[in-house]
């Protein structure tokens, strides 16, 4: 079955399904990819109403921060809504386009390192804890995978429409 971005959870999970979590979150092709984009290209938008590459990187970082905080709560068996937030508002109220591109990439790297540290602290039983993401019952492990699936989704768009 093929899923699409509007499907949310299953689509992102489909993009990042293989490998253990350490390899999924590990050495980042994403950071190498973003570091290959020159600063002058980072403000590019493929259409006036679309985000710049800087804004996409900032959004990926914001997304990981939000989802990891929710993953932390789920891992501690706290009630938490796993899906949904206003991404347009978060980007609109950011300073992403004002910041140097290398700073946004470094911020993503720092957040990723914190995510890996958290993942390394989880037990197998914690990874099997379930929660609800819209109409889907998901394990913590699959929820974590969707963070990378979301990232892959945006990288594919950048490769297709920006570069």
Across 140-152, average pLDDT = 95
Provide the residue ranges of all domains of the chain, joining segments of one domain with +. 5-162
Across 135-150, average pLDDT = 92
Sign of CA dihedral 103, 109, 115, 120: negative
**pLDDT averaged over every residue in the chain:** 91
Compute φ and ψ for 138, nearest 5 degrees. -130, 150
Convert the pLDDT of each residue in 82-122 to its tens digit.
878 899 999 999 999 999 999 999 999 999 999 999 999 99
Is the CB of residue 68 less than 8 Å from the CB of residue 115?
Answer: yes
Reply yes or no on whether the pLDDT at 6 is more than 70. Answer: no
Reply yes or no on whether the pLDDT at 26 is more than 90. Answer: no
Convert the pLDDT of each residue in 32-48 to its tens digit.
999 999 999 999 999 99
CATH number belonging to domain 5-162: 1.20.120.450
CA distances to 4, 11, 84, 119, 131 from 157, in Å: 13, 14, 20, 27, 29
Compute φ and ψ for 136, nearest 5 degrees. -105, 140
User: What is the distance of C-alpha 72 from the center of its chain?
Assistant: 15
Dist. CA 146–CA 156, nearest whole Å: 15
Give DSSP secondary structure letters for 90-148. Answer: HHHTS-GGGS-HHHHHHHHHHHHHHHHHHHHT--HHHHT-EEEETTEEEEHHHHHHHHH
Reported pTM: 0.93
Q: Quick one: what percent of the chain has pLDDT higher than 90?
A: 74
CA distances to 6, 81, 132, 154 from 51, in Å: 18, 26, 29, 11
């Amino acid at each position: 079955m093929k899923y699409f971005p509007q499907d949310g959870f299953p689509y992102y999970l489909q993009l990042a399904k293989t490998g253990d979590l350490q390899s999924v979150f590990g050495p980042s092709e994403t950071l190498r990819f973003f570091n290959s984009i020159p600063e002058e290209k980072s403000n590019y938008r493929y259409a006036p109403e679309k985000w710049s590459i800087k804004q996409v990187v900032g959004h990926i970082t914001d997304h990981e921060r939000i989802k990891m905080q929710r993953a932390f709560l789920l891992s501690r068996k706290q009630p938490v809504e796993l899906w949904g937030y206003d991404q347009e508002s978060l980007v609109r109220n950011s300073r992403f386009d004002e910041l140097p591109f290398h700073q946004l990439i470094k911020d993503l790297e720092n957040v990723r390192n914190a995510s890996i540290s958290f993942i390394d602290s989880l037990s197998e039983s914690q990874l099997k804890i379930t929660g609800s993401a819209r109409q889907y019952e998901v394990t913590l492990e699959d929820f974590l995978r969707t963070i990378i699936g979301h990232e892959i989704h945006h990288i594919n768009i950048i490769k297709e429409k920006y570069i």
